[in-house]
Structure 1
Amino acid sequence: MTHTSPPAEPDLTVDGTGLLCVTLLLRLRERIDAAPPGTVVHVVATDPAAPLDLPAWCHMTGHTYLGPVPGERPVYALRLTAGARATRPDAPWHPLRRQEQPRDR
């Protein structure tokens, strides 16, 4: 997990206004599923746990947490990385177990 200055312009924004982090992570995982590595994501998160949960989720998955974005709204930035650890679609706070991981055919 790296903490650097977040870019001013995101490639993707996930609005989690009014959501608890559990629901926010479900939405975040769904929205980034097809996004390529290097994508900068801004997450709007009003849950007071977000400043702890988002860096922890990035650490667990291997994505890069860039930190809070200055402004009037509570926004946090992250950058998607190649080779990030996959998480369960129904519980993105849990990594996929080896037997759950998709296989290349």
Structure 2
Amino acid sequence: MAVSAHTGMAPDAQGVHRIDGRALRCARLLVLLRNHAARLPDGAIIHLGTADPVAPIDLPAWCWMTGHTYRGTVPVPGTATYGVRVTATPVPTELDAPWRVAR
């Protein structure tokens, strides 16, 4: 199953919200994830596909910082994909620097 761009907010048949972030790196990937998660209910699951080699480090750290739950790698052929469980009460981050907690 390939990760495809998600244009709506409805989950797929498995209840998962899929995000195609393969063209993004670092900060842009986190901005995409943060903005998408902000529109989802508590407990929603996101599968984020990316080509960013630092994602296995950045995503768990960002989830820990914001209160979302990092669910690890998701088996998707041909695309590195990571799972995130959304919290209803995330710690806000700076708009242009999603790796920094907002003050």
Bin for the TM-score computed over the shorter chain: 0.7 to 0.9
Q: Which residue of 1 aligns with 2:63?
A: 58
Q: Which residue of 1 aligns with 2:17?
A: 12
Q: Relative contact order, CA 8 A, sep 6+: which one is greater?
A: 1
How many Å separate the matches in 2 of 1:94 and 1:75? 23
Among 45, 65, 78, the residue aligned to 2:84: 78
How many Å separate the matches in 1 of 2:15 and 2:60? 17
How many Å separate the matches in 1 of 2:28 and 2:88? 24
TM-score by length of 2: 0.79
How many aligned residue pairs are there? Answer: 89
TM-score by length of 1: 0.77
Q: Which residue of 2 aligns with 1:88?
A: 94
Amino acid aligned to 1:21: C
Where structure 2 has 5 or more consecutive residues not aligned to the other structure, the ranges are: 1-13
1:46-73 Cα distance to aligned partner (Å, 9 max, x none): 1100010000100110110000001211
How many Å separate the matches in 1 of 2:100 and 2:15? 26
How many Å separate the matches in 1 of 2:18 and 2:97? 21
Aligned-pair distance for 1:89?
A: 2.0
3-state SS of paired residue (1:25): helix
Where structure 1 has 5 or more consecutive residues not aligned to the other structure, the ranges are: 1-8, 98-105
**4+ residue stretches of structure 1 with deviation over 6 A?**
none
Are 1:29 and 2:30 matched, yes or no? no
1:1-40 Cα distance to aligned partner (Å, 9 max, x none): xxxxxxxx45311211121121101111122222111010
Cα RMSD between the aligned structures? 1.3
1:53-104 Cα distance to aligned partner (Å, 9 max, x none): 000100110110000001211000010113221112221111111xxxxxxx
Q: Which one has the largest radius of gyration?
A: 1
